[in-house]
């Protein structure tokens, strides 16, 4: 889990938070300059120039933006950094929509296991990588034997209740994962173990049910759906169809539902399992085209993708020789994408307040010197951090966010009480 350690100076209301530090004598100040951040204030640590040089003086900043040896310890022990508190990134809410139709019993490329066995094992690993604050639910479709609609087994049939082709009693309602061994983690693991591929593929009904559950969830955080399927929908909405792969149905209503979900702020990741390259899907040459279009509509298209391939916009598993490895990689990327780079400021003790112009962020990565992350100037940011619109959270800019998500056991410290370093460290 990635945790922020916050060192703060929390003074009584009305008190001046410009407390003294090892830099009060001018050592480490930037050539008489003052950079203003949220609320203004001079630069606490120098960025070169008069009185600041790499490795010189307590708390000096090296030219590459790394704190000089001993600087971090000095900062922690400064008079303006006494109290501490902890916070974590804002949580995410995820609904997994998982294809367990009969075709998932087919052998997976590069293994001696079925597509379902590989999928189940990869999902277990993915769940372990999600932090406890993440709220997760799972819906399996159809998770039951299915029967054809009547009288024609096609779109002309009257709609049936979704329970006719989706076993809704087998889903796991959305709830925070909690720590290892929690009730929610156990419930998801048990559901993965209990699922048995059978029946047709009612993708549209399953997706709409999952979207409804995600909208109804009251947990905070950005919201995502993860649809895993081998691409051949065999029931239209209302459980209309035969359920047979040879009678695959028009997938465009699913794309429309993904578009509607995106307009409500729900992003959708699409994983196309082996089998989605097979022909027989109406309208398109094979299922990969509509899966790609759905990822694009869901706001998760991969950079430089094309709906006609070979670089599709979804996570395409059909061009790999090892489904297990490719699926694990895709889920790892999705886990990284849903992790938040927005960190709430903790509530100060009663009678105290935090001065937003005196906040500094330090990132420590294994094997690297600690780095002071500067506050980005007003406007669009690429690196560094900014306050959220309401001032309650610290939002990391895209490039810095990527570094945080891909780092192994990063340590983030937010130092309160000392004047904010603004702009790039030269």
CB 190 within 8 A of CB 127: no
Q: Determine the Cα–Cα distance for residues 127 and 337; give it in Å rounded to an integer.
A: 14
Is the pLDDT confidence value at 38 over 70? no
Q: Determine the Cα–Cα distance for residues 329 and 324; give it in Å rounded to an integer.
A: 9
How buried is residue 366: exposed, middle or buried, by Cβ count under 10 Å (0-12/13-18/19+)? exposed
- Find the mean pLDDT for residues 90-96: 92
Between 44 and 65, the higher pLDDT residue: 65
50-64, 82-96, 255-269, range with the lowest pLDDT: 50-64
Q: How confident is the model at residue 334 (pLDDT cuts 50, 70, 90)?
A: very high
Of the chain, the percentage scoring pLDDT greater than 70 comes to 75
How buried is residue 250: exposed, middle or buried, by Cβ count under 10 Å (0-12/13-18/19+)? middle
Q: Can you give the pLDDT at residue 71?
A: 46
Is the pLDDT confidence value at 125 over 60? yes
CB 136 within 8 A of CB 94: yes
Q: Can you give the pLDDT at residue 53?
A: 28
Q: Is the peptide bond before 151 cis (omega within 30 degrees of 0)?
A: yes
> What would the two tokens of residue 199 be?
């029946």
Between 7 and 312, the higher pLDDT residue: 312
- Find the mean pLDDT for residues 363-375: 77
Between 288 and 419, the higher pLDDT residue: 288
Q: Which among 36-45, 56-65, 238-247 has the top mean pLDDT?
A: 238-247
Q: Can you give the pLDDT at residue 11?
A: 35
- Find the mean pLDDT for residues 104-133: 93
CB 197 within 8 A of CB 103: yes
Is the pLDDT confidence value at 170 over 70? yes
Q: How confident is the model at residue 350 (pLDDT cuts 50, 70, 90)?
A: low
Spatial neighbors of 42 by CB under 8 A, at least 6 apart, are: 29, 33, 34, 35, 419
Is the pLDDT confidence value at 27 over 50? no
pLDDT tens-digit readout, 58-79: 333 333 333 442 345 666 666 6
8-22, 178-192, 316-330, 356-370, range with the lowest pLDDT: 8-22
Distances (CA, A) of 225 to 104, 210, 294: 20, 8, 12
Of the chain, the percentage scoring pLDDT greater than 90 comes to 50
Q: Can you give the pLDDT at residue 5?
A: 43
Q: Can you give the pLDDT at residue 46?
A: 28
**Which is nearest to 192 in space by CA: 171, 223, 163?**
171
pLDDT tens-digit readout, 226-237: 999 998 999 999
pLDDT tens-digit readout, 175-227: 999 999 999 999 999 999 999 999 999 999 999 999 999 999 999 889 999 99
CB 61 within 8 A of CB 47: yes
Q: Can you give the pLDDT at residue 360?
A: 78
- Find the mean pLDDT for residues 267-276: 96
Across the chain, mean pLDDT equals: 79
Q: Can you give the pLDDT at residue 50?
A: 27
- Find the mean pLDDT for residues 270-292: 91
Q: Can you give the pLDDT at residue 75?
A: 60
For the chain, the first-to-last Cα distance in angstroms comes to 32
Q: Can you give the pLDDT at residue 65?
A: 35
Between 214 and 361, the higher pLDDT residue: 214
Q: Which CATH architecture has domain 92-338?
A: 3-Layer(aba) Sandwich (3.40)
- Find the mean pLDDT for residues 388-395: 86
Is the pLDDT confidence value at 248 over 50? yes
Number of H helices, E strands in the chain: 8, 16
Q: How confident is the model at residue 359 (pLDDT cuts 50, 70, 90)?
A: confident
Q: Can you give the pLDDT at residue 295?
A: 98
pLDDT tens-digit readout, 3-21: 444 433 333 333 322 333 3
Give me the residue spans of the domains in the chain. 3-88+343-416, 92-338
């Amino acid at each position: 889990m990635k945790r922020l350690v916050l060192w703060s100076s929390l003074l009584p209301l009305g008190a001046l938070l410009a407390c003294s530090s090892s830099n009060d004598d001018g050592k480490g100040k930037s050539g008489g300059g003052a950079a203003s951040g949220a609320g203004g204030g001079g630069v606490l640590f120098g960025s070169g120039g008069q009185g600041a040089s790499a490795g010189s003086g307590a708390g000096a900043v090296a030219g590459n933006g790394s704190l000089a040896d001993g600087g971090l310890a000095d900062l922690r022990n400064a008079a303006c950094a006494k109290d501490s508190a902890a916070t974590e990134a804002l949580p995410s809410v995820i609904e997994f929509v998982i294809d367990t139709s009969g075709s998932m019993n087919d052998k997976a490329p590069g293994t001696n296991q079925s597509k379902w066995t590989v999928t189940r094992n990869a999902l277990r690993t993915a769940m372990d990588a999600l932090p406890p604050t993440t709220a997760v639910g799972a819906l399996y479709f159809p998770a039951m034997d299915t029967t054809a609609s009547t009288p024609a087994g096609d779109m002309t049939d009257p709609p049936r209740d979704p329970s006719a082709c989706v076993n809704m009693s087998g889903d796991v309602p959305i709830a925070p994962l909690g720590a290892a061994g929690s009730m929610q983690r156990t419930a998801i693991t048990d559901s993965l173990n209990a699922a048995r591929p059978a029946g047709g593929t009612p993708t549209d009904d399953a997706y709409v049910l999952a979207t409804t559950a995600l909208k109804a969830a009251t947990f905070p955080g950005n919201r995502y759906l993860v649809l895993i399927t081998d691409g051949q929908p065999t029931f239209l909405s209302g459980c209309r169809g035969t359920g047979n792969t040879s009678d695959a149905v028009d997938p465009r209503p699913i794309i429309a539902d993904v578009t509607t979900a995106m307009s409500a702020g729900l992003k959708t990741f699409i994983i196309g399992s082996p089998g989605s390259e097979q022909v027989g899907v109406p309208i398109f040459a094979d299922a990969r085209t509509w899966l790609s279009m759905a990822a694009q509509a869901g706001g998760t298209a991969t950079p430089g993708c094309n709906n006609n391939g070979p670089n599709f916009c979804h996570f395409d598993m059909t061009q790999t020789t090892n489904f297990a490895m490719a699926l694990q990689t895709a889920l790892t990327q999705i886990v990284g994408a849903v992790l938040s780079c927005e960190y709430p400021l903790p509530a100060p003790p009663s009678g105290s307040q935090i001065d937003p112009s005196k906040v500094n962020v330090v990132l420590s990565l294994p094997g690297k010197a600690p780095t002071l992350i500067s506050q980005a100037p007003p406007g669009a940011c690429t690196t560094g951090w900014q306050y959220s619109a309401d001032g309650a959270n610290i939002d990391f800019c895209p490039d810095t966010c990527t570094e945080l998500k891909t780092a192994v056991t990063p340590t983030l410290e937010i130092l309160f009480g000392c004047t904010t370093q603004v702009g790039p460290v030269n």
